[in-house]
Amino acid sequence: MCRIERIHAREVFDSRGMPTVEVEVTCAGSRPGRAIVPSGASTGKYESVELRDRDSPRLDGTGVARAVENVCGEIAAALKGADASDQQDIDRRLCDLDGTDNKRRLGANATLGVSLAAAYAAAEAQGISFVDHLNRVWRSVPGTVNPAMSLPLPMVNMISGGLHAGGNLDIQDVLILPVGAGSFRQAWEWVISVYRRLGRLLSDEGYEGHLVGDEGGYGPRLKNNEDGIRFVVSAIESAGLEPGEQVAIGLDVAASHFYRDGSYHLSKPTEANLTADAMIDLLDDWVARYPIVSIEDALGEDDWNGWKRLTDRLGSKVQLIGDDLFVTNRARLQRGVEEGVGNSILIKLNQAGTLWETLETMRLAIDRGYRPVISARSGETEDTTIADLAVATGAGQIKVGSAARSERLAKYNQLLRLEEQLDGRIEFVGSKVLGGF
């Protein structure tokens, strides 16, 4: 029993200078556990609600004073004396107290902050590492398939577009997956090499090879989306690595953001309004010509019919990840499973709003053969929870952003630390996690 004695919150700031919630939970006789909540820009319409002080002139209405008050007031009163090591109970109380289906009353930024800080406090109180505590919690979530703890394959942003880089490209991310690496450290060193070569290649061609987007990827104004893929393939080659065999390509299309009135409005190379089927043709063509193994949000969050046809066409060739589509929500994932839509799910803690609900969604995914990809948000902080989460659950993949900006590197550095500290206890998953892709 780790009895909660104190819960405190404050407003701090994320990597875009946006206010966010930091929470400290203290159990009797031990040091506080602390967590900071991240924040998205290309948010899905069905995510849990992030509470901001929209009606206040302070910080142009972006403040989170109300969410902070909810933690220090109502939530602190309700959770005082509760057992921080019983994550299910903590998170059930948070959901019951909120009383809505999407955390719109207390704010998912308030509930997630408390949920995660309680987990850190429980680890402190038990005198065990955070990753070991998370692994205990994970094993207590009902499910049948139980992956061992492992080091994830990183999916790393190289070129940023869409809402993360001022609309330079339609596609939000061109990413690399160092599938042929033998350890996390080697995977990471390959990533750094490719990232450096890419910056040079872009500069050599007259593009902005040093300006980066919200997640640290380069944000060049390329002529078209496909050029982004071409540049990344060249950078892999220029680093002396084999595209596909050693380093593969991933895309986050983030298509919800250019889907309007039944069609996909691409601005590059020329204004093109594509139907879902034309989008699928385009992606199928790219998959045939480039070493692409993973595509996220290829179609919009409401386009279930398009998604079904996409999965029938490409689902056996590549990983198809639902981010805005599934929003880490069990009911939406259940619909996906029943309708045969997608084969993988992006996992973002703040889309769900509590740790336990996030883990339940991951359990459903793994039991139904959907690969979970643990993900950061475009607005991040020094908080490294997702690195431990990916290891503790054996999720297999992690997506944090690029190889620059400390809010990204904080997570990769934590993975390097865990690789060293857990040497002999855990393995790097490498290409195994992608099966036949």
User: What minimum distance in Å lies between the beta carbon of 40 and ligand PGA?
Assistant: 3
Closest CB 42 distance from ligand PGA, rounded Å: 4
301 is a contact residue toward Zn ion (CB under 5 A)? no
Catalytic residue among 24, 47, 215, 301: 215
Q: What is the 3-state secondary structure (H, E, C) of 23-68?
A: EEEEECCCCCEEEECCECCCCCCCCCCCCCCCCCCHHHHCCCHHHH
- Token pair listed for 88: 């299910």
Contact pick of 24, 323, 360, 383 for ligand PGA (by CB under 6 A): 323
Check residue 380 for interaction with Zn ion (CB under 5 A).
no
Residue 94 CA to residue 200 CA, distance in Å, equals 49
Q: Decide: helix, strand or coil at residue 278.
A: helix
* Whether 215 is catalytic: yes
Does 42 sit near ligand PGA (CB under 6 A)?
Answer: yes
Choosing among Zn ion, ligand PGA, none, which partner's interface includes residue 40 (Cβ < 5 to 8 Å by kind)?
A: ligand PGA
Closest CB 405 distance from Zn ion, rounded Å: 18
254 binds ligand PGA per the rule CB under 6 A: yes
Round to whole Å and give the CA distance between 414 and 123.
Answer: 17
Name residues whose C-beta falls within 8 Å of residue 73's C-beta, 6 or more positions apart in sequence.
none
Using alpha carbons only, give the angle 37, 42, 46 rounded to the nearest 5 degrees: 80
Cis amide prior to 57 (ω within 30 degrees): no
From the list 40, 107, 113, 178, which residue makes contact with ligand PGA (rule: CB under 6 A)?
40
74 is a catalytic site residue:
no
**The binder of Zn ion chosen from 170, 226, 323, 419 (CB under 5 A):** 323
Subset of 193-252 contacting ligand PGA (CB under 6 A): 252
For residues 244-283, which are near Zn ion according to CB under 5 A? Answer: 252
Residues 105-144: x where in contact with ligand PGA by CB under 6 A, - otherwise, as a string: ----------------------------------------
- The full DSSP string for 289-358 is HS-EEEEE--S-TT-HHHHHHHHHHHTTTSEEEESTTTTT-HHHHHHHHHHT--SEEEE-HHHHSSHHHH
Q: Which of 187, 184, 186, 188 is nearest to 422 (CA)?
A: 184
- Between 85 and 157, CB nearer to ligand PGA: 157
Annotated active-site residue in 103, 268, 308, 348: 348
3-state secondary structure of 281: helix
- Which residue sits closest to Zn ion, CB atoms considered? 323
Residue 350 is a binding residue for ligand PGA (CB under 6 A): no
Q: Which residues bind ligand PGA (CB under 6 A)?
A: 40-43, 172, 252, 254, 323, 346, 375, 377-378
Catalytic residues: 215, 348
